[in-house]
Amino acid sequence: MLANAAPAEQKQMLGEALYPRIHASQPELAGKVTGMLLEMDSSELLYLLENDEALTAKVQEALDVLAEYTQRQTDAPAPAASSEEAAPAAAEESSSA
């Protein structure tokens, strides 16, 4: 059945098979992690569905990448105020001096 499906349908089927297994250990991030894993080749995903250890390792790898990305977003400096936003503040400071 999977072999006869179009590539997009294959990914849909694989995602539907992966999601509950990922949800069992990562309920809050199951959708995100499933989406990350669906970027992999279908043959690799089939292997993950057949091998619990490999799936667990791949889920952990995805969680590590996600945590690193989240940390980088948290550590990133806030965007500087635009010159339009900064101008009124500068005008107020100079008028009160």
Residue 81 is assigned to a structural domain of this protein: no
Q: Is residue 65 part of a domain?
A: yes
Question: For residue 40, is it within any domain?
Answer: yes
Give 15-35 pLDDT, tens digit per residue: 999 999 999 999 999 999 999
Total domains in the chain come to 1
Q: Are 23 and 30 spatial neighbours (Cβ–Cβ below 8 Å)?
A: yes
Does residue 69 fall inside a structural domain?
Answer: yes
Q: What residues make up the domain containing 13?
A: 7-76
Q: Whole-angstrom Cα distance, residue 18 to residue 66?
A: 18
Q: For the domain that residue 39 is a member of, what is the CATH number?
A: 1.10.1900.10
pTM flag (> 0.75): no
pLDDT band of residue 75 (cuts 50, 70, 90) is confident
Residue 18 located in a structural domain: yes
